[in-house]
Chain A
């Protein structure tokens, strides 16, 4: 962790120096210190926290929706041969479409308000969860499935005692990917759909007013939040699959 911080700190220093020494136009690349000051001011005056909260709430709603649906759909594809034959090809075809291509359609179907944004984020989270859940379920050990038969497990017991725990590591990978995808999608919706409260909105606003310190502030926050989400997901994954290495 400490070594991992070296490069960002050097970059931060280089950034600061580049602006201060006039190597870069400070209107285009404001010095790091000015961005931090801007953050401090925004925190007290411009409801920075409110914007961050709006983005996170949106992200969480879409992520939860997409992950839940993805778990169910991935389980169906992984365990039901009929389900896979019927729905698999359509899903694998549709997932090839770049996520942002959905925006016009979603705007038509769900309007341009909060609901449309959440649906969009949900789709972004849905895909990796489905893929990983399906793969995890398929990878369940034939030998353990046979033990389940010997122990006269019913359908529910097979699912909760064998398939879900077998698929857990893969599911967690899917959820971690979904977290990153949905954060990306959150900012996407704030860029490309209507402007509302949120970090994406903050960045757009900064660009329109040509206040690059606000733009940089937004970008920094995106990075830090993304990093934190990833770290939380990784830690959660390690805790839940502790039996593998304990």
Chain B
């Protein structure tokens, strides 16, 4: 099921009040089958934009993004996506919300029903299939959204700060759950976050992005066995190093534009 994601020389420019504002510049990335990649950066570094391009929600950009060699030209059920908000349909029950993702799947009715049940069970909500979104807590709603993102058994799962709006305890719990699911299903995963701990704890690799224009600044391999412990010394050390890098980046971007290093190679030493 898992696929290789290949991003080559992606440039994205937004037009704001007639001015061209670069959002992504020269992004090159390769995500291996079954890899859990986390993309880390401050707000405005283009990480969510990158995810939207991968999802196929925005197709006006330079460069190429392909999944298993197939150029991405729009949304597809091969790619599951979970947003920061659960984005459930308030008039449908949890089960019907998950089933909605199967509307255009080539499955028989019975197979769809089974897939919905399985994926509700996968996120631990078997007994909440008949609940409406307003009856669920924020964490439960986000689990339903994860089930909806997975129910098509996509080749890649994309998550855009999926736990950003949750309280710390729920967030930690859902991170563990996501890690377990990703391990079980061996699905290629890209998670965008601004939370250093989350990026390090979940990622096989952490991509640190820098803003203006959005680009890959550093790549860190997190070569630690799973399941991981949050208090693991090596994890804590990695976290400290990445935090330092982030601070350097934000220091740079706080300086006047003229003194910023401009060469793309300088800006991403890890890839050079």
A positions within 8 Å CB-CB of B? 143-144, 146-147, 149-154, 157, 161-162, 165, 168, 241, 243-244, 246
Contacts and interface: CB of A to CB of B under 8 A. Distances in A.
Question: What does DSSP make chain A's interface, helix, strand, loop or mixed?
Answer: helix
B128 interface: no
Question: What does DSSP make chain B's interface, helix, strand, loop or mixed?
Answer: loop
A150 B55 contact: yes
B104 A161 contact: no
A150 B81 contact: yes
Interface in B46-75: 55, 57, 75
A152 B75 CA distance: 6
A151 B101 contact: yes
A165 B75 contact: no
Contacts of B230: none
26 contacts: A143-B83, A143-B87, A144-B89, A146-B57, A146-B83, A147-B87, A147-B89, A149-B75, A150-B57, A150-B81, A151-B75, A151-B77, A151-B100, A151-B104, A152-B104, A153-B104, A154-B104, A157-B103, A162-B89, A165-B89, A243-B91, A243-B132, A243-B134, A244-B134, A246-B132, A246-B135
Interface size bucket, B side? 20 to 34
Contacts of A151: 75, 77, 100-101, 103-104
A144 B87 contact: yes
Interface in B91-117: 91-92, 100-101, 103-104
Given A150-B75, A152-B76, A161 B55 contact: no
B90 interface: yes
A154 to B, nearest CB: 8
Contacts of A168: 91
Given A152-B75, A243-B90, A244-B90, A143 B103 contact: no
B85 to A, nearest CB: 6
Contacts of A143: 83, 85, 87
Contacts of B85: 143
A168 B76 CA distance: 29
Interface in B118-171: 132, 134-135
A165 B89 CA distance: 9
Contacts of B77: 151-152
A154 B100 CA distance: 13
Nearest to A149: B75
Ranked nearest first, the 7 interchain pairs of A and B with the lowest CB-CB distance are A165-B91, A243-B91, A143-B87, A150-B75, A243-B132, A147-B87, A152-B104
A32 B101 CA distance: 62
A222 B25 CA distance: 70
Contacts of B87: 143-144, 146-147
